[in-house]
Amino acid sequence: MRPTLILLALIASTAAFADEVTYRNDIRPLWEQKCMACHGETAPSLAEYDENKEKYAQLSQGPRMNDYANLIAFVGWPDTGALMRRLDDGANTEDRKPGNMYENLGADEAERQKNLALFKAWVGEDGWFLGKFKELDKSTLKKMKVAE
């Protein structure tokens, strides 16, 4: 009986892991398709961007998010919640306005919602945080997944 329980537990954990949204398998391909043109390797670092936002806006460049380490800086720290605020559809905000990058998630509303759902699954539905670092608590931080 015991080996059967162990096998069932292993199968369940493998199935859960297989369904996990990861940066490499899910987010990176989407990011390359929708975001890399403005946030790729030639984009400025966050510090450079913050020093001259107007210049980079004219160049259609946002801060560099060309790899996992750079991207998660906009989820957890130092620019906590920035990714979520920018990509959010506004459905759960007071003003109901989507973030300024929501429109770039797809050609139509259905594609945007599909891609937003993928980002939310990656971050973690319960970790989808629209605030800033000073508002972030440990319980919300623990809910952020962002698997590589």
Catalogue the E-assigned strands of the chain.
none
Q: Which long-range contacts link 95-104 to residues 24+ away (Cβ below 8 Å)?
A: 101/35, 104/34, 104/35
pLDDT digits (tens, 9 = 90+) for 54-111: 999 999 999 999 999 999 999 999 999 999 999 999 999 999 999 999 999 999 999 9
Is the distance from CB of 30 to CB of 53 less than 8 angstroms?
Answer: no
Model confidence, pTM: 0.84
List the domain boundaries for the chain. Answer: 21-143
pLDDT digits (tens, 9 = 90+) for 56-68: 999 999 999 999 9
CA distances from 41 to 63, 65, 90, 127 (A): 10, 8, 29, 27
